[in-house]
Chain A
Amino acid sequence: MNDDNRPMNAPDGTPLPHGQNEPSEAGSPDSHVPAHRQAEPIADPGLPEHTWRPTDIDPLAEKRAERQVAAMFVAAMISAVLFVVAYFTLEVGDNWDTFAGMGASTMALGVTLGVSLLLIGIGIIHLARKLMADVEIVEMRHAAASPPEDREATVQALNDGLDEAGIGRRPLVRNTMLGAVGVLGLPAVVLLRDLAPGDELDIDKLAHTIWEPGMRLVRDVVGTPILASEVEMGDLINAAPEALFPTEENGYEELHGAQLQVDKAKGAIIIVRMNPDDIVPAKGREKWTVDGIICYSKICTHVGCPISLYERTTHHVLCPCHQSTFDLADHAKVVFGPAARPLPQLPLAVDDEGYLVAQSDFTEPIGASYWEREKQ
Chain B
Amino acid sequence: MSTDSRLDTSKVATSNRTDAATASKPGPGASLATWADDRLGLATAMKKNLRKVFPDHWSFMLGEIALWSFVVLLLTGVFLTLWFNPSMGHVTYEGSYDQLRGIGMSESMASTLNISFDVRGGLLMRQMHHWAAMIFIASMMVHLLRVAFTGAYRKPRELNWVIGCILLLLGTLEGFTGYSLPDDLLSGTGVRAADGFLKATPVAGTYMSFLLFGGEFPGESIIPRLYIVHVLLIPGILLALIAAHMLLLVYHKHTQWPGPGRTEQNVVGYPMLPVYAAKAGGFFFMVFGVIALMGGLMSINPVWKFGPYDPTKVTAGSQPDWYMGWPDGLLRIMPSHMETVLFGYTISWNVLIPILLVPPLMLTVLILLPFLEGWVTGDKRDHHLLQRPRNAPTRTAVMVALMTFYGLAWAAGGNDIIAIKLHASINQITYFMRVAIFLGPLLAFWITRRWCISLQRHDNEKLLHGYETGIITRSPEGQYAERHLPINPKAAYTLTARDRDEVFTGAGDTDAAGVAAPNSRSERLRARLSRWMYSHNVQKPTAAELEEAHHHAEHEAELTAGLDHPVDGHQFDDHRLRDTDDVPLRDH
Interface residues of A (CB under 8 A from B): 1, 3-4, 8, 11-12, 16, 20-21, 23-24, 26-27, 36-37, 39-48, 50, 52, 56-57, 59, 62-63, 66, 87, 90, 92-94, 96, 100-103, 105-111, 113-125, 127-129, 131-141, 143-145, 192-193, 195-197, 200-201, 203, 205-206, 220, 238, 240, 257-258, 261-262, 264-266, 268, 298, 302-309, 320-324, 334-341, 367-375
Contacts and interface: CB of A to CB of B under 8 A. Distances in A.
A201 B211 CA distance: 7
Contacts of B264: 11, 141
Contact of A371 (B48, B202, B271): B202
Interface stretch (B30-38, B290-298, B447-455): B290-298
Nearest to A8: B265
B279 to A, nearest CB: 5
A239 to B, nearest CB: 9
B222 to A, nearest CB: 10
B482 interface: no
Contacts of B3: 1, 3, 137-139
A305 B119 contact: no
A63 B15 contact: yes
A23 B260 CA distance: 8
Contacts of B470: none
B53 A138 contact: yes
Interface stretch (B121-129, B167-175, B369-377): B121-129
The 10 A-B residue pairs whose C-beta atoms are closest, nearest first, are A110-B296, A303-B196, A121-B285, A47-B261, A124-B282, A117-B289, A118-B289, A200-B215, A265-B311, A93-B96
Nearest to B90: A257
A120 B427 CA distance: 52
Contacts of A117: 285-286, 288-289, 292
Given A137-B4, A144-B156, A196-B211, A338 B332 contact: yes
Contact of B210 (A26, A200, A238): A200
Contacts of B42: none
A56 B9 CA distance: 9
A179 to B, nearest CB: 25
A111 B296 contact: yes
Given A11-B264, A44-B263, A340 B278 contact: no
Contacts of B261: 23-24, 26, 44-48, 138
A323 B263 contact: no
A45 B584 CA distance: 14
Contacts of A122: 282, 286
Nearest to A94: B96
A239 B341 CA distance: 31
Contacts of A128: 274-275, 278-279, 282
11 contacts: A27-B493, A62-B15, A118-B293, A134-B270, A136-B268, A140-B267, A201-B207, A303-B351, A338-B332, A338-B351, A339-B336
A28 B334 CA distance: 59
Given A11-B264, A113-B296, A338-B350, 6 more contacts: A24-B261, A39-B543, A90-B120, A92-B122, A368-B199, A372-B346
A220 to B, nearest CB: 6
A369 B210 contact: no
Interface in B310-355: 310-318, 328, 331-339, 341, 344-348, 350-351, 354
A320 B314 contact: yes
A140 B269 contact: no
A195 B269 CA distance: 54
A140 B264 CA distance: 9
Given A26-B261, A136-B270, A323-B430, A111 B196 contact: no
B189 interface: yes
B292 A268 contact: no
Residue of A36, A106, A124 contacting most chain B CB atoms (<10 Å): A106
Contacts of B6: 135, 137-138
Contact of A268 (B219, B297, B312, B490): B312
B344 A374 contact: yes
B316 A258 contact: no
Contacts of B560: none
Contact of A369 (B262, B269, B291, B346): B346
B220 A257 contact: yes
B499 interface: yes
Interface in B124-145: 124, 127-128
A132 B13 contact: yes
Contact of A111 (B97, B293, B311, B427): B293
Contacts of A338: 331-336, 338, 350-351, 354
Interface in B478-537: 489-490, 492-493, 496-497, 499-500, 502, 512
Contacts of B493: 27, 42-45
Give the most central of A52, A139, A304: most B CB within 10 Å: A139
A105 B127 CA distance: 13
A261 B219 contact: yes
Given A47-B260, A92-B120, A139-B53, A340 B337 contact: yes
A102 B296 contact: yes
B12 A196 contact: no
A1 B89 CA distance: 67
B196 A302 contact: yes
A141 B385 CA distance: 12
B97 A321 contact: no
B260 A125 contact: no
Contacts of A93: 95-97, 117-118
Contact of A370 (B206, B354, B546): B206
Nearest to A40: B496
B359 interface: no
B219 A262 contact: yes
Given A42-B546, A136-B269, A338-B338, A48 B260 contact: yes
Given A302-B350, A304-B193, A107 B211 contact: no
Interface in B418-446: 426-427, 430
Given A122-B286, A138-B267, A369 B293 contact: no
B141 to A, nearest CB: 23
A123 B282 contact: yes
B60 interface: no
Contacts of B263: 21, 23, 26, 44
Contact of A109 (B124, B189, B318): B124
B556 interface: no
B159 to A, nearest CB: 10
Contact of B96 (A96, A145, A308): A96
B496 A42 contact: yes
Q: Which of A109, A128, A192, A338 has the most CB of B within 10 A?
A: A338
B84 to A, nearest CB: 16
B206 A206 contact: yes
Contacts of A113: 124, 289, 292, 296
B213 A196 contact: yes
A192 B285 CA distance: 43
Given A103-B123, A107-B297, A257-B220, A96 B116 contact: yes
B215 A196 contact: yes
A140 B297 contact: no
B468 interface: no
A371 B120 contact: no
B346 A370 contact: yes
Contacts of B214: 195-197, 200, 258
A111 B541 CA distance: 55
A29 B120 CA distance: 68
Contacts of B79: none
A215 to B, nearest CB: 16
A203 B218 contact: no
Nearest to B543: A41
Contacts of B251: 144
Contact of B489 (A8, A45, A105, A220): A45
B563 interface: no
A120 B1 CA distance: 31
A370 B314 contact: no
Given A42-B493, A111-B296, A139 B267 contact: yes
